[in-house]
C-alpha cells in the first residue's frame, strides 16, 4: 500500500508532569492519539468519518516502551505509520522523539478492530475499508 507516514508534534505542558517532573507515562496515550489522527488525515482514514459511517474502531491492544523522559519545555514529535495486515485490524506504530535533540523518547504500537453498527466485532473488512485499501494500493 502507498501510505504516508505522518509527523505531528505537541508541546509538553506543566499539567502533563508528574511529581518526578517528567511527563506522566499515561499521557503518552494522548500523544499517540494525536499521531493516529495525523496519520488518518494524511491518508484519508479519519476516525470521525468512520464513526459517522457507523463503524467503531476501538483500540484493543497498546504497547508503549519508554526510552527517555520528557520534561517541561520539551516538544515531542510523533511519527506514525501503518503495518499492513490482511486481517480486519488496524496496526499502527509510533515513534516519539524529543524535537530539540532528536532523541527517541518512546516507541509504541496499537491494534484496533472494527465494530459494526450493533457493536459486534467484524471478522471481515468493512466495505469502506476494503475500498480504501484498494485505492491506496492502486
Q: How far apart, in whole angstroms, are the C-alpha atoms of residue 96 and residue 76?
A: 6
Tell me the CA distances in angstroms from 8 to 62, 65, 82, 89, one per residue in order.
Answer: 20, 19, 15, 23
**Strands (DSSP E) found in the chain:** 6-11, 59-66, 75-83, 89-98, 104-113
Binding residue for a copy of itself, selected from 5, 62, 89, 133, defined by CB under 8 A: 62
Q: Which of 4, 44, 54, 73 binds a copy of itself (CB under 8 A)?
A: 73
**Which residue bears the cell 519545555?**
73
| Nearest distance from C-beta of residue 104 to a copy of itself, angstroms | 13
Q: Out of 53, 60, 87, 135, which residue is the one contacting a copy of itself (CB under 8 A)? A: 60
As given in the structure block, the three cell numbers for residue 5 are 507516514
* 30 near a copy of itself, judged by CB under 8 A: yes
Contacts of 90 (CB under 8 A, 6+ apart): 57, 82, 110, 111, 112, 113
Q: Does 89 bind a copy of itself (CB under 8 A)?
A: no
By C-beta, is 30 or 84 nearer to a copy of itself?
A: 30
**Is 83 near a copy of itself (CB under 8 A)?**
no
Interface residues with a copy of itself (CB under 8 A) are: 11, 13-15, 17-22, 24-26, 29-30, 33-34, 37, 47-48, 51, 56, 58-66, 69, 72-73
Amino acid at each position: 500500500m502507498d501510505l504516508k507516514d505522518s509527523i505531528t508534534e505537541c508541546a509538553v505542558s506543566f499539567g502533563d508532569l508528574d511529581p518526578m517532573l517528567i511527563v506522566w507515562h499515561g499521557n503518552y496515550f494522548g500523544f499517540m492519539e494525536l499521531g493516529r489522527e495525523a496519520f488518518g488525515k494524511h491518508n484519508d482514514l479519519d476516525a470521525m468519518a468512520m464513526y459517522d459511517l457507523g463503524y467503531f474502531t476501538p483500540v484493543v491492544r497498546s504497547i508503549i516502551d519508554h526510552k527517555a523522559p520528557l520534561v517541561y519545555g520539551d516538544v515531542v514529535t510523533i511519527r506514525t505509520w501503518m503495518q499492513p495486515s490482511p486481517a480486519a485490524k488496524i496496526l499502527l506504530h509510533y515513534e516519539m522523539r524529543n524535537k530539540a535533540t532528536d532523541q527517541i523518547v518512546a516507541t509504541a504500537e496499537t491494534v484496533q478492530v472494527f465494530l459494526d453498527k450493533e457493536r459486534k466485532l467484524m471478522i471481515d473488512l468493512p466495505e469502506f475499508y476494503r475500498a480504501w485499501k484498494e485505492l491506496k494500493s492502486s
